[in-house]
Structure 1
Amino acid sequence: MSNNSNKIKANGIALIPFLVFIAIYLGSGIILNSRGVEMAFYQFPAPIAVFCGVIAAFLILKGNLNEKFDQFVKGCGSQDIMIMCTIYLLAGAFAGVSKAMGGVDSTVNLGLTFIPPQYITAGIFLISCFISLATGTSCGALAAVAPIAVALATKAGLSLPLTMAAVVGGSMFGDNLSVISDTTIAATRTQGCEMRDKFRVNLLLALPPAIITVVLLLIFGHPTSVPTMQSYEYDIIKVLPYICVLVLAIAGVNVFAVLTGGTILSGIIGIAYGKLTVLSFAKESFNGFTSMIDIFLVSMITGGLAYMVTQAGGLQWLLDRIQKMIKGRKSAEVGIAALVSLTDIAIANNTVSIIINGPIAKEISSRFKVDPRRSASILDTFSCIMQGMIPYGAQMLMVGSFTKGAVSPMAVIPLLWYQQLLAVSLIVSMFIPFADGIIKKDPWKWDNKEAADKKISM
């Protein structure tokens, strides 16, 4: 994109289609929320909101209809977009089949069985961390752990707001780090780096806040009455697919092989235990595909819209303005963090926020020599920090739903210690590079034109 943007004349009007998309998505959420609609910011389908932006692009941008359509299709079908969308489908299949064969329930019950009752709040955080890391979804982890956490908090006399903050914090830990999370997929593909490298860089930033959070929960999360230790039903075999996927991904095995192999392993275990048949295995795999259809379409259509806007000079106009405020690498990193954070506040969707800002972040990174592994980590992390803290985000809305309105988002937000510490960790790292060991050991090859677009081997 760097080469193309240098030849394109800046044009602020070209950004209007993106503004149309954001205005419709944000505006519908505000209107529905004012009317008391549950999950208001998730009622208007995101793919339709993006497509409204595409229509605006066809109406506003210069060129004949065929030229604009060719640009749109080229953007939709770009290599990065297609790889991203394929990974979404495979991740959905793995998550769906693994859940159907009982993997999520076994993982939660395994943790609850072996965590001492007096440490249950910290244990809930750790269980949420692992579930979200294994499944790649914060909402999925919340759905699995939150009902159990509410029951335990009531029985043990735990602070319900603190307990729910532990669930949300743990859920966002995995959403940010998981190699099958849609945010990780979007961040690494838009920045042109490998998932395992982003994971290693990101882990050094996320682990200290997670450890401090566990310590704080051990200190302040003691139950007023210690609940009786229970033995929940679990099967370690059903946890194996998650462990295998995680280990193989970090080891650098190809992402398609990892997710396909993980799905097949979960299917075999499900069939062996009588939870699945060959036919239901196929159906659950397909259901996993369809569960990702929203983000698949958003990614593909946004890719087309972004390419049209870029060719019309919109990205160049924005970069020219941003560049005036950026003086070097540190301020470039701050700028990337601010852009994705503000976008997530506006549209309450961390994956879409990354997709929107990915091309801009990639260009900024190229100009100011911000390592793509670093920019991918910043995009993913700050979008997850904001997503887990905004009161109208899916995570906070789910908290209200599971507690039946007994806990408001405003009571939970001050207790989201993990997200707050993670933000501090990222900001400090911009000025004191304490987590740059991997980057220094293997510097990005800026002189290699193919480096920025190297293919994922995971």
Structure 2
Amino acid sequence: MEKAKANFKGLIPFVIFIVVYLGTGLYFQLKGTSMAFYQLPSPIAIVCGIISAFFLFKESVNEKFETLVKGCGNSDIIIMCIIYLLAGAFAAVTKKIGGVDATANLGLSYIPIEYITAGIFVITSFISTATGTSVGSVVAIAPIAIELAEKTQLSLPILLAAVMGGAMFGDDLSLISDTTISATRTQGCRMKDKFLANVGIAIPAAVITFILFFIFGRPETIIPPQEYNYNLLKIIPYIFVLVVSLMGVNVFVVLTGGIFLSGAIGIYYGTFSFIGLAREIYVGFNNMNEIFLLSLLTGGLAALVTKAGGIQWILEKVDKFIVGKKSAQVGIGILVALTDFAVANNTVAIIINGPLAKKISQQHGIDKRRVAGLLGICSCIAQGVIPYGAQMLILIGFTKGLASPFEVLPYLWYQQLLLLFTIISIYIPYYRYFLKHHSPMEEMV
């Protein structure tokens, strides 16, 4: 695609998308609707932006439609969408066989109750990293955490913060989360390299968070140990995906292998038949429909906006505030975080800012793996603190009025420390130790 002349008019369709999405959320929020920012499906908001582009831009309808289709059919977009489907299938099948419950119960069986808050943080971190879903991790662990808080007189806000922190830890670092898939595909780097770029930032934040929960999260009442049933075999698919992904195996092979491994375990235990396995795989596909369509349509809208000069306009404005690599990284982080505050979805924020971040990184010579890492981390920090995000809304919903998001916010130590270490990594770039040991590659593995 040829370089377009900068033009704010080219950016208007993206602005319309955000205004429609944000405005609808605020409207339902004022009406007191549950999950207000998730009432309007995001692909419909994107369609509003696409329609406006057809009215605003000068080319013929056929030319604009051709640009839209080329954007939707971009190889990176298609690969990202297929990975979404496979990740959804793996999550659905593994959950069906009891993998999430087995993982949670295994951790609870071996963690002393006096250290349960720190333990909940670790368990949620592992589940979210293994499954690639922060929302799913909250759904799995929050009810257990709330029950423990009632029995032990633990501080409920601190325990909820442990769940929230663990969920966002995995959302960022997981090799199969939609956050990682979006960040790496938009930058053209490997999932493994994005993991290595972020682990040096996330682990110190997680370790200090663990210590804080260990010190301040002790219960007033010690209850007798409880028995939790678990099956180690049902945890193996998660370990398989984590280990094999880090070995550098192609992501399609990893996820397909994980699906078949989970399926074999499910058939062995009689959880489902071959036909039942096929249905669960399809359930997983359906679970990813919204993000699949959003990614596809966003690719098309991005192509229209880029051709009309919208992206170039932002680049020229942002460049006025960027004086080098450090300020460029800060700029990328702020852009994706602000977008997340607006749309309340970190994957959407990454998809919107991915092409722009790539251009900024190319202009200022920033490693693409670093950029993918910044997109993931900064979007997860924002998503992990907004009171109207899906994770927080579901978490607070389980309490049935016993806690509010604003009671939990002060104890979101992991998100606060992650922000601190991200800033440190920009000005004291110790993360280069991880980057220099892995040569840049264009393919996704």
TM interval, short-chain normalised = over 0.9
- Code of the aligned partner of 1:299: S
> Residue in 2 aligned with 1:448?
none
SS across alignment from 1:129: helix
Instruction: Name the CA distance, whole Å, in 2 between partners of 1:142 and 1:62.
Output: 47
Is 1:293 paired with 2:268?
no
Q: Which residue of 1 aligns with 2:280?
A: 284
Q: Distance in 1 between matches of 2:234 and 2:439?
A: 39
Match of 1:42 in 2: 38
Local SS of the residue matching 2:385: coil
For residues 18-44 of structure 1, give each alpha carbon's deviation from its aligned partner in whole angstroms, at most 9, with x where no partner exists.
010000000000000000000000000
Q: Which of these residues, 406, 409, 414, is aligned with residue 405 of structure 2? A: 409
Q: Is the contact made by 2:5 and 2:309 (CA closer than 8 Å) also made in structure 1?
A: yes
The aligned runs of 1:410-429 (5 Å cut-off) are 410-429=406-425
1:173 aligns with 2:169: yes
Equivalent of residue 431 in structure 1, options 400, 406, 427 = 427
Distance 1:282 1:228 in 2: 42
What is the aligned counterpart of 1:133 among 129, 132, 135? 129
Work out whether 1:88 is the aligned partner of 2:84. Answer: yes
Counterpart in the other structure of 1:455: 443
- The 2-side partners of 1:227 and 1:211 are apart by 26
In 1: Cα distance, 2:431 partner to 2:59 partner: 47
Match of 2:311 in 1: 315
2:155 to 147, 156, 159: 159
Q: Which amino acid aligns with 1:455?
A: E
Secondary structure of 1:406's partner?
coil
Contact 1:128 1:170 in 2 (8 A): yes
Indicate yes or no: 2:350 matched with 1:362.
no
Q: Percent of aligned pairs with the same residue?
A: 57
Q: What do residues 180-206 of structure 1 show as CA deviations (whole Å, max 9, x unaligned)?
A: 100000000001110001101111110
Answer yes or no: is the 8 Å Cα contact 1:399–1:407 preserved in 2: no
8 Å Cα contact 1:340/1:379 also seen in 2? yes
What do the CA deviations read for 1:35-70 (whole angstroms, capped 9, x no partner)?
Answer: 000000000010000010000011101100000000
| 2:219 alignment counterpart | 223
Distance 2:71 2:330 in 1: 28
The Cα offsets for residues 368-407 of structure 1, whole Å up to 9 and x where unpaired, read as 0111110000001010110010011111111221101111
Pairing partner for 1:262 from 258, 261, 266: 258
Q: Which piece of structure 1 moves more, 222-231 or 91-100?
A: 222-231
- 1:355 maps to amino acid: I
The residue identity in structure 1 corresponding to 2:313 is W
> What residue identity is the alignment partner of 1:316?
Q
The aligned counterpart of 1:27 is 23
Once residues 401 and 369 of structure 2 are traced to their aligned partners in structure 1, the CA distance between those partners, rounded to angstroms, is 40
> Can you list the C-alpha shifts for 1:107-166, whole angstroms capped at 9, x where unaligned?
110010011111100000000000100110100000000000000111011000000000
Question: What is the CA–CA distance in structure 1 between the aligned matches of 2:334 and 2:285, rounded to whole Å?
Answer: 33
- Partner secondary structure for residue 320 of structure 2: helix
Q: Does structure 1 conserve the Cα–Cα contact (< 8 Å) formed by 2:165 and 2:412? A: yes
- Partner Cα separation in structure 2 for residue 378 and residue 415 of structure 1: 23
Q: Any idea what SS the aligned residue of 1:227 has?
A: coil
Contact 2:89 2:283 in 1 (8 A): yes
Which residue of the partner structure matches residue 326 of structure 2? 330
Aligned mates of 2:351, 2:203 — CA distance in 1: 25
* Contact 1:302/1:355 (8 A) holds in 2: yes
Give, as a single letter, the amino acid of the residue that structure 1 aligns with 2:349. S
User: CA–CA distance in 1 between the matches of 2:213 and 2:434?
Assistant: 30
Cα pair distance change 1:136/1:442, threshold 3 Å:
closer
User: Contact between 1:135 and 1:242, CA under 8 Å: does it hold in 2?
Assistant: yes
- Paired residue for 2:381, among 367, 373, 385? 385
Instruction: Write the letter of the residue equivalent to 2:443.
Output: K
Superposition deviation, residue 440 in structure 1:
3.1
User: Secondary structure at the residue paired with 2:372?
Assistant: helix
Q: Give the distance between the partners of 1:115 and 1:279, measured in 2 at CA.
A: 38
Instruction: Return the offset for 1:443.
Output: 6.0
Distance in 2 (CA, whole Å) between partners of 1:117 and 1:277 is 39
Letter in 2 for 1:426: T
Is the alpha carbon distance of 1:222 and 1:350 closer, same or farther for their aligned partners in structure 2, counting shifts above 3 Å? same
> Is contact 2:196-2:435 (8 Å) kept?
no
Decide whether aligned partners of structure 1 residues 267 and 442 sit closer, same or farther in structure 2, where only a CA change above 3 A counts. Answer: closer
Aligned-pair distance for 1:432?
Answer: 0.5
Contact 1:113 1:232 in 2 (8 A): yes
Distance in 1, Cα, partners of 2:56 & 2:396? 42
* Residue deviations 1:260-285 (CA, integer Å, cap 9, x gap): 00000000000101111111100000
Matched, 1:114 2:113: no
Equivalent residue of 1:8, what SS? coil
Match of 2:57 in 1: 61
Change (3 A) 1:277 1:442: closer
Aligned to 2:246: 250
Cα distance in structure 2, aligned partners of 1:116 and 1:266: 30
Residue 188 of structure 1 contacts residue 373 of structure 1 at CA under 8 Å; is this kept in 2?
yes
Give the root-mean-square deviation of aligned CA atoms: 0.9
Residue by residue, what CA displacement relative to the aligned partner does 1:285-335 show, whole Å, maximum 9, x if unpaired? 000000000000000000000001001111111101111110000000000
In 1, the alpha carbon distance for the partners of 2:96 and 2:107 equals: 19
User: 1:347 is aligned with what amino acid?
Assistant: V
Q: Name the aligned partner's letter for residue 294 of structure 2.
A: V
> Take 2:227 and 2:246, find their aligned partners in 1: how far apart are those partners?
32
Instruction: State the match for 1:195 in structure 2.
Output: 191
Contact 1:202–1:377 (Cα < 8 Å) also in 2: yes
Distance 1:41 1:8 in 2: 34
Q: Distance in 2 between matches of 1:205 and 1:422?
A: 7
Q: Does 1:302 align with 2:298?
A: yes
Shift of 1:442: 4.3
Matched, 1:143 2:139: yes
Cα pair 2:193 2:435 within 8 Å, conserved = no
Match of 1:71 in 2: 67
Q: TM-score, normalised by structure 2?
A: 0.99
